[in-house]
Amino acid sequence: MSVVAPHQQLSCTFCKKSQYDVKKLIASPDRLNHICNECITQPGKLKFISDRPDRQQTVRATLSVRVSAFLRDLWSSPSGKPFRCSFCQKKRCSVGFYGSSLMDIQAQICGDCLTVCRKILNDEAGEESYASGFDQAWNVVARSRDGQPVSPTLRPLLKAVYVQSLSQPLNPIELQKAIEDLLQFLIGEGRTNANCWAVDLFFANSQGWERDWAEQGLPEDFHDILAMMGEALHDTVQHPEIAKNYGCLPEQLLERVKHFRGNSR
């Protein structure tokens, strides 16, 4: 399951709200059905249907569990399609199924899929809260130097390192890649005094960070490289000999990061 990209025009299968009227829409793996954040989180928006609406109660009352399970599998929805979770296609779920409270909508979602959807929403909310920490830190460090502004391209590169270094569980491959991308930029078109200063300050004072990266328990390699970026990277353009002395030129740092490969894993 995945969150729908903003440019697609889609609506929630269960409440029919357009993606523009809800905060998040999650697509089923086959992308034929969608569920919005409201249907996922607001109690009462979906109606609980055990397995077999209408006749379920009488079947349960008169037949053994095994027989009713057998009938449940045979049961088809009025549309003629077998009763399944519209997201994972399971026919049975111990938690039961939920359907739309609107008339004539034949989709249903199982309790397990709802749990996964809630988790997706929570993870996204977590990333958004990192984002506000990043914005604060960025505003502190992204200042012009000698009338030269920080490149707009720097922001997403730095943010990727930030998000990756705080993500739980840590993905070392993604973090390494984010650091490499940032350093590549500083080696090439982004090698300006303003950019090098901004990156240096960002890692030197983690003020405004959601959490201090230094306390993240990052693997030693990563911790060291982020610490080094906050040492003498700011000297790269105006005093390259000093930066070089500390091993802090972007190309020196990149060399180190490339050595992580296969080493810390």
- Burial of 222 by CB count in 10 Å (0-12 exposed, 13-18 middle, 19+ buried)? buried
Using CB under 5 A as the binding rule, whether residue 243 contacts Zn ion is answered as no
Q: How far is the CB of 88 from Zn ion (least distance, A)?
A: 3
Q: How far is the CB of 158 from Zn ion (least distance, A)?
A: 36
In this structure, which amino acid lies at residue 191?
R
Using CB under 5 A as the binding rule, whether residue 26 contacts Zn ion is answered as no
What is the side-by-side order of every strand in the sheet holding 108-110?
A: 46-49, 97-100, 108-110
Q: How far is the CB of 121 from Zn ion (least distance, A)?
A: 12
Nearer to Zn ion, 33 or 206 (CB): 33
Q: How far is the CB of 203 from Zn ion (least distance, A)?
A: 42
- Select from 208, 210, 209, 251 the least CA-distant residue to 228: 251
Using CB under 5 A as the binding rule, whether residue 175 contacts Zn ion is answered as no
Q: Scanning residues 28 to 87, which ones bind Zn ion (CB under 5 A)? A: 36, 39, 85, 87
Measured over the CA atoms of residue 166, residue 172, residue 174 and residue 180, the dihedral's sign is positive
Q: How far is the CB of 52 from Zn ion (least distance, A)?
A: 16
Nearer to Zn ion, 41 or 193 (CB): 41
In this structure, which amino acid lies at residue 227?
A
- Burial of 106 by CB count in 10 Å (0-12 exposed, 13-18 middle, 19+ buried)? middle
Nearer to Zn ion, 36 or 257 (CB): 36
Nearer to Zn ion, 31 or 261 (CB): 31
Q: How far is the CB of 28 from Zn ion (least distance, A)?
A: 9
Tell which one of 25, 27, 107, 113 touches Zn ion (CB under 5 A): 113
What is the side-by-side order of every strand in the sheet holding 2-3?
A: 2-3, 25-27, 34-36
Please state the length of the chain: 265
Using CB under 5 A as the binding rule, whether residue 107 contacts Zn ion is answered as no
Which tokens sit at 50? 């055990």
Residues of the shown chain interacting with Zn ion in the complex, contacts defined by CB under 5 A = 12, 14-15, 36, 39, 85, 87-88, 110, 113
